[in-house]
Structures are given as structure tokens and as C-alpha cells.
Amino acid sequence: MTLALRYAAHTDVGLGPKTRNEDSGYAGPHLLAIADGMGGTVGGDVASAITITTVRALDKAGHNEPLRALGQAAVEANSRIAARIDTDPHLEGMGTTLTAILVQDGLANVAHIGDSRAYHFRAGRLRMITRDHTFVQSLIDEGRITLEEAEHHPHRSLIMRALEGRQDARPDLDRLELEPGDRLLVCSDGLDNAAVKDDAIADVLGRFAGPQEAADALIALALDQGSPDNVTCVVADVVDVSQGAADAPTLIGTAVAAPAVVGAAAEPDNQALDDSAFEHTAALSPGAIVHPASRQAHGLSGDGLPHGESDLEEELRYAPRPPRRFRWLSRIVVAVVVLGLLGTGGRWAYGWTQDQYYVGPFPTDAQANTSRARVAIFRGISQQIPGVPLSHVYEMQSFALSKLPSYQRQQVADTIPADSLSHAREIVGKLRNLAQQCAPAPTQSPTPTPSKTPDSSPTAGKKPTATSKPTKPAEGAASPSTTPRAGDARAPQECDPADSTPSPTSGSK
């Protein structure tokens, strides 16, 4: 089964005060698209024309990833709008919606941003396949208002997302399967603003056999309801060309039906926006319809101007931002200010680190607990940033880290912060004193006991002379060494406990 499209696209400026059509529509063998330019701002027609001109390049078969291609086309259209604003600053604030359907391999691939809509009609049942990006729709989603309340909400037309040359240009992407007999409708919000209900749309799509008649009837219905906005409809029927239907479009050779381009994109001034995008399509077909009777019935003159009425709601619809004529200059100024703040903050932070001191081991890290490590005063902070030295040795001490008790040794290895240089020196002084007090006592050799030997001298027989004993220090006299040693009862409690294993040189009874 081979599916193809029979299509038609039509538009009308509407019954409001607008003198130009800001909608753009496209219908081709593989692509259906609507772009509704921002009303109330300069350049809405330019934005919609740029978008349709960009997206229509997808109207061909053989896309590897149709959905991704649609998303990229929307981003590209947004970039072109931004570029046009840069070259023509008076166009600042222009924008457009986009709703597009790319049909391939029996699937309808849908891209949508804004408040234009896409519908799927099958066997008498109508289903909207897009979601409006409007303020009231967000209120409906949150359960704050009902559908009936949304119809009369004062901000029912305030749009939240669109293509306007700014960052967030990613459309919603979706796809659905198609069958022969399905009918697709893509329309601008001029149809919805005319209070045309879904059941009325379904009735029109079900009663009229051809896409052209259906599109024409929908726009006539919107005008009869007093549509104040531009209204554009693209209708397409899904047919099975493998059945050889007489009314099926021919997709082989040169007998392809000409694509239909309507609205702003069909205007001569906008047709040359990007000639490269038109290479694969046939000549343009404006396809606009006019309803003189409806115009007269609603008090319009022949040129579409109202008799003394205005449309403030449409002017405020997109809440345009004030023009920024020197955006590039403001961006440069902002960048310079940010870089200046970062540089000033970085210099201040580095200067603060160089006013700090701490006590630590040298060498540091892996060699901190070796016998070669010594205690040192560092200037800076102990934290490390790769490639940026934040500290250096300020004063090297003369005593080794290994001379300290285990607890203080670990403290130094982990670094001890100091409030100032004098505080750091005070910490080092206490550590030096503790190392001296906890130093182990020197080992003494035992005094040999003198022995009595026979005297072979001529004085034999006389009483032998006894060896003199060590003189006991007088009571109160100082001992040869008064410094407490490790294991001594007078040693500080911070010292490591002495080894209790008996010495090999100790005497036994």
C-alpha cells in the first residue's frame, strides 16, 4: 500500500483591523505547514514567511529521521529570524508559530510550537494532535480553569512559546499512523478565535468531499462567526495510490501536483527570502479566498478595514519585548563585566590565601611520615587546585617530625591552621618543647663490680685494700640530668608510653 496526499491551502485576512496577512501556509506532496506571524508587532508576516520558506525544503521523500528533520528545520527558521533581526533592528519583537506535518512511510510526523493547531479526522471522529502553548492552556493543565472558562479568559490568546529568534525554539514532536481515508487539518488560531467548535469543524470535514471545498468552507465559517484575526487552513486527504484511484495524485514523473503557498509567504516581497529553498518545488500558488458578502455583513470596506474599530487584544497577544537595537553591544558589555568580576574575585581570593599560615610537614603528602620529614611553617592554605600553587614553605624548623609523639605527629601531618605568623611560631615552639621532653633517656653501661685478687707483692699477708664505692649524692643535691625522659614519671602525658620490655643488660637476683 502506497499512501499519498491530496491537499489544498487557503487563507483570509479576517474581519479585524489588519491590512496585511501575517499567516503563511504551505501544502505539498509530503508536507503541510502553517506559520502564524506575531500580531501587533512589526514583521509578523516576515517571520512567518521566513519559517515557511525554511520548512518547505523538507517537502520530499527519503528522510532518514523525519521527526529530527522537522526539529532541525524549526531551529534553522529561528536562527534565520534572529539573523534578520540583526540586519533589520526595527524587526525586533517579530515572531511566529509553526505547526507542520511531514508524511513519510505511512506516518504523520508532527512538529508544533505556538497556538496554531493540527487535527486528525477519521471515520467521523475529530482529534486535535497538538497542544496550545498558551497561558490559558497552562491553567487548564494545572486544573485552575475549565475549558469553558478558558474561552472567555482575558488572556486566552497570550502565547508562551514561539519562534522569535531567541534560544528556546525546540518544537513539540509527535507522530501517528495514517490510513487511507484519513483527513488532516492544519490551521491558524483565527479559526479558534472565531469560536468555531470542534463539532462544527468535524461537520465541515465530514460533509465536503474535496480538500479545497473543506478548506474554503472552514474559512467561510470563521468569517461568519466574526473572526477578527487572519485565518488559514490547510486540508489534506490520505489516499492509497496503489489502488489506481482516479482522483489520486500522481507521484511519479513530472505530473506532481503543484504545491500551494498562501499568505505572507506568497507575497512577492517575501518570495525571495531564500531562493535555495524553492528549488525542488513547483511555482507558487497563492490560493487565497475572499468572501465579499461576509465582509459587507460585518461592516468592512472592500479593502478589509473596519469602520472605526480597533483590536487591542491582538496588539497584546504576544506581549512583545521592547526593541533592542544594540544587542551585540550589550552582549559584549555584559561579557566584559562578567569577566572583570571573575578576575577581580579571583585576585581577591588568591590574595586572601596568601595572608594565611599553617604548620605542616615537609616534604608533604606521601613523604610526610618518613624520617626525612621536618616540621615547617607554610604561608597560604593547605587545599590544592591543580596547576595553581596556594602555599609555600615560609620557615623550615630544625627538628624532625619523627621526634614528636604519635598524636602530635599526626596533627602536623594533617596540618595545623594558625591565625597569624606569630600564632604559627607559637605552635612550633610548643611542638619543639614537647619533642625535647619526650626524647628517650640515653642508655648507660653497667658499672663492673671489683673483685678481690691475691696480692703477690711483697706486701702479701697484709689486709687487702677495698675498692672505693660510688659517692651517694647528698640529700637535696641535683642529679647529673634533670630533664624528664620518656617513661619517667615526670614526663608530659602527651609522650608515648615507654617500652616495658626488660633490657638485656638488667641484672637478676
* Structural contact between residues 222 and 194, judged by C-beta atoms closer than 8 angstroms: yes
How many helices, marked H, and strands, marked E, lie in the chain? 13, 15
Q: Which of 55-64, 76-85, 343-352, 372-381 has the lowest mean pLDDT?
A: 343-352
40: left (phi over 0), alpha (psi -120 to 50) or beta: left
List CB contacts of 53: < 8 A, sequence separation 6 or more.
265, 270, 273, 274, 277, 278
Read off the pLDDT of each residue in 203-212 and give the average, rounded to a whole number. Answer: 96
pLDDT, tens digit (0-9, with 9 covering 90-100), for 398-439: 788 888 888 888 888 888 999 899 999 999 998 888 888 887
Read off the pLDDT of each residue in 169-194 and give the average, rounded to a whole number. Answer: 93
Read off the pLDDT of each residue in 172-198 and give the average, rounded to a whole number. Answer: 92
* Structural contact between residues 30 and 103, judged by C-beta atoms closer than 8 angstroms: yes
pLDDT, tens digit (0-9, with 9 covering 90-100), for 219-265: 999 999 998 889 999 999 999 988 655 455 544 333 457 899 999 99
> pTM of the full predicted structure?
0.58
Read off the pLDDT of each residue in 351-369 and give the average, rounded to a whole number. Answer: 76
pLDDT of residue 71: 96
At residue 326 the predicted structure's pLDDT band, cuts being 50, 70 and 90, is low
* Structural contact between residues 98 and 55, judged by C-beta atoms closer than 8 angstroms: yes
Q: Which of 128-137, 341-350, 414-423 has the lowest mean pLDDT?
A: 341-350
Question: H/E element holding 10?
Answer: strand 3-12
Report the distance separating Cα 7 and Cα 31, nearest Å: 10
Per-domain residue ranges for the chain?
3-325, 356-437
pLDDT score of 504 more than 60? no
Report the distance separating Cα 383 and Cα 390, nearest Å: 7
pLDDT of residue 485: 53
Mean pLDDT of the chain: 78
- The percentage of the chain sitting over the pLDDT mark of 70, rounded to a whole number, equals 70
Q: Which CATH superfamily is domain 3-325 in?
A: PPM-type phosphatase domain (3.60.40.10)
In 3-state terms, what secondary structure has residue 233?
strand
pLDDT of residue 33: 98
More confident residue, 23 or 248: 23
State the residue for C-alpha cell 471522529.
Answer: 125
Q: Which of 203-212, 242-251, 459-468 has the highest mean pLDDT?
A: 203-212
Q: Which of 38-47, 319-328, 341-350 has the lowest mean pLDDT?
A: 319-328
Read off the pLDDT of each residue in 383-391 and give the average, rounded to a whole number. Answer: 78
More confident residue, 462 or 64: 64
pLDDT, tens digit (0-9, with 9 covering 90-100), for 61-120: 999 999 999 999 999 999 999 999 999 988 888 999 999 999 999 999 999 999 999 999
Phi then psi for 91, rounded to 5 degrees?
Answer: -85, 0
b/e per residue, 317-350, with b = 16+ CB within 10 A? bbebeeeeeeeeeeeeeeeeeeeeeeeeeeeeee
